[in-house]
Chain A
Amino acid sequence: MGAAAAVAAPAALRLSFRTVFRLLLTRGRLIALGLLGLVAVIVGWAVGISVEPADQLDAGADVMAGLGLAVLIPVVTLVFASASLGDLRDDSTLVYLWLRPMDRWPLAVGAFAASFAVAAPLTLVPLAIGTALTGAGAALVGASILAGLVAVAAYSAVFVLLGLVLRRALMWGLAYVLIWEGFVAAAGAGAARVAIRAYTRSIVYGLTEATTDTTTMSVPTAIIVPLLVAAGALALASWWLGRTDID
């Protein structure tokens, strides 16, 4: 047996990332959520062949924002991010990463990074392909990818925290995505300020000539605010890991 020592933050971050990443990759999740991504591709293709070229930008932006940013990214990210630490807490295996001579924040950030690393390709690739198939042009594809990156980052951090703090995080996350962001935030500008989707939509419409969105957020605001929310969620998750009871 070898002598132990405190684990430096970079090593702790790498270890927690690798461990959570490996635990998240289950065949069932990958197949189910991969099929959801396929829907975005098929819808993009359907828009591309059915809409007049003059309307393809607006139609493409609406479909990708309405499907990709409103459903695909938040749901896929929710499944992985809420499970990243939430599953470990629920099955009492969190102790195998918690009772270690490591700081708490690498565990939270590593779980976030693992969730991002799994969810990003599963969502951004079909989103980019679907957007390209709408025929709306490279600008919409680029805007969708940028908005998608911001969305995956923000949702990953928020749902890592949610999974850590709440039992049935999946249910609460779906309620947030479908009810709050889908209905409540869509009804007023005030509520939209606390909806990640409102910011990511603003990136898409702010960076393209699409005209069907009435948002007034600037693109820098729409990028920076979700990333600040992500940083805050990770700080809160790190703090929570230090004070919560471990089974």
Chain B
Amino acid sequence: MTATATPPPDSTPTAAPRIVVDDVSKWFRDVVAVSEVSFTVGPGVTALLGPNGAGKSTLFRVLCGLVPPSRGTVRVLGGDPRRDRELRGRIGLVPQQDALFESFTAADFVRLAGATHGVADPDGAARAALGLVELDPDDHRPCSAYSKGMRQRVKVAAALVHDPEVVILDEPLTGLDPLQRRRMITLFQRLGSEGRCVLVSSHVLDEVARLGSRILVIAQGRLAASGDFRALRELMDDRPHRIQVRTDHPDRLAVGLIEAGVAVGIHIEEDGLVVDTRDADAFGRRIAPVARDHDARLREVTPLDDDLESVFRYLVERR
């Protein structure tokens, strides 16, 4: 696990990278969306993790050739996705936007995706792809009548209908119910285990935890970390945690926590404390005995930074 932009996340070092991003920046007028990003991605599932507005979708658009990088180079399966016509047939994209051809049925939409990818039997391929995402190919309702989750599954089917070698999915789990989310994650893992390069973006840490072990973390347009997900979790656990404690005797409790060695910083407020600790688990174990020993009544103990945004902030600022 690193907090720099260099290490590749390939789990199989011998596998040739399917995607090579070298010092890529992308800006729109004076807004920098992606800045000096480098990484490689091999076969299997890799998650791109980042908060909203971090640059995930822009990076995916660059990977698919939808926009050219302002600086740097991108190679997908050895080719330039912006210029290589045949390469576009080897990529499957689930874009973030919700829009579909609203008057089309799901089968029409996926069949069109197959036909425009040059699939020999678009109808059969569409039925198979819709089956993968558990949608009925004989449903005659237009896409405009579909729920958000069903529309997401239509997009996934359209991205898979031509059996692509590289699958790029931008927030594909948005709008899915928990059961569908679990099934979709299983599908992505299966695609990865079959040797495809599957790159999935998400801003939800728990989703990424279930997707696989390789991750790229992007924040403020920069690659904040890349590597194994477990290592990131350890890094998260190592970072200082900020915890708010409400008590009737903040001063007594502050002294006790310092004496117990579980606080690296304390800010005393009128009805409590804000404590910085490097070991949240030890703090959790010690807070109650310390309060009892110092005759302080605990009213509330709340972690203030146990969210993904704070993780990103830590990773970026630490660098």
Contact = CB atoms under 8 A, between A and B. Distances in A.
Contact of A102 (B87, B95, B116, B129): B116
Contacts of A91: 99
Of the listed residues A1, A6, A19, the one surrounded by the most CB atoms of chain B closer than 10 A to its CB is: A1
Contacts of B117: 4, 7, 100-101
Nearest to B122: A2
B85 A96 contact: no
Nearest to A100: B116
Contact of B85 (A6, A15, A92): A6
Contacts of B61: 245-247
A3 B116 contact: no
Given A15-B115, A95-B95, A101 B120 contact: no
A5 interface: yes
Contacts of B66: 95, 98-99, 245-247
Given A15-B115, A246-B66, A100 B88 contact: yes
A184 B172 CA distance: 52
A167 interface: no
A20 to B, nearest CB: 10
Contacts of A5: 89, 118, 120
A6 B101 CA distance: 23
A6 B103 contact: no
Contacts of A95: 66, 93, 95
Interface residues of B, number: 42
Given A1-B129, A3-B163, A4-B163, A101 B112 contact: no
Interface bin, chain A: 20 to 34
Nearest to B123: A2
B121 interface: yes
B164 A4 contact: yes
Contact of A2 (B97, B99, B125): B125
Nearest to A16: B116
Interface stretch (B154-162, B173-181, B230-238, B264-272): B154-162
In order of increasing CB-CB distance, the 9 nearest A-B pairs are: A101-B89, A4-B162, A5-B118, A246-B66, A1-B163, A4-B117, A92-B97, A2-B119, A2-B125
12 contacts: A2-B121, A6-B89, A92-B99, A93-B100, A93-B101, A95-B66, A96-B158, A99-B91, A100-B89, A101-B87, A101-B88, A247-B61
Given A95-B93, A101-B118, A102-B85, 8 more contacts: A2-B121, A2-B163, A3-B162, A4-B164, A7-B117, A93-B99, A101-B88, A247-B95
